[in-house]
C-alpha cells in the first residue's frame, strides 16, 4: 500500500530560505527606491487624503488634523470640531507646523521686494529697411 510521507524538516528549511530571500529582495527594493518610513507620533499635525470629486479638487483635505492615537499603521486623528477619523498611515501626510509671527512675515515680504529700477532701453535709433524707402507712409 502506498504511503504518504510528510517531510516536515525539508518544509521548514524551504520556508526559512524563502523568508531569507524575500527579506533580501525587500532590502534591495527599499535601497533602490529610497523608501522612507513615515514617523507619525501622537500630537503631530497631519492632512488626510480625500476622494477626488473633480479635476480641481486637492488630493488632501486642507483642514489640519491632530493625531490622537496610533496603533501599528492605524492612526486616529481628530479635527477642531472633535470629529475622529481613523485611517491607515498611508492616507496621512505630515504637516510642518511652524507658526510664524507677523514680524517674521513682514521680514520675508520686505526681503522679497526688489527696488524698482527703470528698465534700460537701447539708445540706438530704429531705421526702416532701404528697400522700403519707395513706399509712402
Q: Is the pLDDT of residue 102 over 70?
A: no
* C-alpha cell of residue 62: 486642507
Domain count, the chain: 1
- Residue recorded with cell 532701453: 121
Q: Where are the alpha helices (DSSP H) in the chain?
A: 8-32, 102-112
In a domain, 110, yes or no: no
pTM given for the model = 0.50
Q: Which of 43, 38, 83 is nearest to 66 (CA)?
A: 43
How is 33-84 classified by DSSP, letter by letter? TT-------TT-EEEEB----STTS-SB-SS-EEEEEEETTEEEEE-TT--E
Residues 33, 4: Cα–Cα separation, whole Å = 46
Inside any domain, residue 87: yes
Alpha carbons 27 and 38: distance in angstroms, whole number: 17
50 within some domain: yes
Residue 12 maps to a domain: no
* pLDDT, tens only, 36-93: 777 899 999 999 999 988 989 999 999 999 999 999 889 999 998 989 999 999 999 9
Decide if 65 contacts 94 (C-beta within 8 A). no
Q: Is 3 inside any structural domain?
A: no
In a domain, 51, yes or no: yes
Residue 103: inside a domain: no
CATH code, 45: 2.30.30.140
In a domain, 76, yes or no: yes
CA pair distance 66, 46, nearest whole angstrom: 6
Residue 2 to residues 6, 8, 80, Cα–Cα distance (Å) = 13, 19, 71
Instruction: Provide the domain limits for residue 56.
Output: 39-97
- Mean pLDDT computed over 87-112: 75
Amino acid at each position: 500500500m502506498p504511503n504518504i510521507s510528510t517531510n516536515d524538516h525539508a518544509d521548514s528549511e524551504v520556508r526559512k530560505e524563502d523568508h531569507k530571500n524575500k527579506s533580501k529582495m525587500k532590502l534591495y527594493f527599499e535601497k533602490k527606491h529610497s523608501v522612507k518610513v513615515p514617523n507619525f507620533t501622537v500630537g503631530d499635525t497631519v492632512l488626510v487624503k480625500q476622494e477626488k470629486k473633480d479635476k480641481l479638487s486637492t488630493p488632501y483635505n486642507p483642514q489640519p488634523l491632530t493625531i490622537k492615537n496610533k496603533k501599528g499603521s492605524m492612526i486616529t486623528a481628530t479635527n477642531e470640531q472633535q470629529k475622529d477619523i481613523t485611517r491607515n498611515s498611508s492616507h496621512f501626510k505630515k504637516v510642518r507646523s511652524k507658526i510664524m509671527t507677523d514680524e517674521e512675515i513682514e521680514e520675508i515680504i520686505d526681503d522679497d521686494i526688489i527696488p524698482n529700477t527703470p528698465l534700460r532701453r537701447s539708445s540706438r535709433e530704429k531705421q526702416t529697411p532701404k528697400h522700403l524707402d519707395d513706399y509712402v507712409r
